[in-house]
Chains A and B, each alone.
Chain A
């Protein structure tokens, strides 16, 4: 290490790298969040739909979600755990709880009250929630990766 080493310059290098990275991750197409929301909606609806259609729908939506994530990793060249620590984890865990809650609600309403349309309604409600959560997660991740290396 040289005598004229400036820690502020080194920090600036790390910050500039993360800023470029955050900018590049921002190129995720807008339809990604919508597709993610639709798949989450299908998963929620599938819980209340009788077999075999519910299971088929669940299998299809899980596969579609896996392909969607794979597309994102190929597009960005990055692989990021949705449950990484920080605000991103709070958003991901909250979304998971809401989706499970909506799934159980749809199932309960159909089985106990005979409301056959309930799973579709809860699935429909899950779509905008998941879209908003996807966008919020994306923003939170970009903010976090910049904050982690801030002086």
Chain B
């Protein structure tokens, strides 16, 4: 089933969480996103790769005190897609609430 305005790439709960985190900041560390989403490192890597391939997420590696850290950021396209997805979700939720009220 396809729902109008919803982005299938962002729709999956883990990717929705990733986008919700990254859209609130300029960058977030991979470890932070993993802890906040509660998924394993390999699952997060796969989800990030999908978003990266779609041009929604940018991945940056930085070394600090001989320890490599990975930073994730939403691209401009990713921010626009997430905003549109949230707008569509809000609209659908309002429609669903009205439907329940009218029933």
Chain A positions near chain B (C-beta within 8 angstroms): 1-3, 5-8, 10-11, 13-14, 17-18, 20-21, 24, 74, 76-81, 84, 145, 148-149, 151
Contact = CB atoms under 8 A, between A and B. Distances in A.
Contacts, number: 82
B52 interface: no
Contacts of B25: 78-80
* Chain B binding surface, main DSSP class: helix
**In which size bucket is the chain B interface?**
20 to 34
Contacts of B24: 18, 21, 80, 145, 148
Nearest to B24: A145
Nearest to A79: B27
Given A5-B1, A78-B28, A14 B20 contact: yes
B32 A78 contact: yes
For A11, A14, A84, which residue has the most chain B Cβ atoms within 10 angstroms? A14
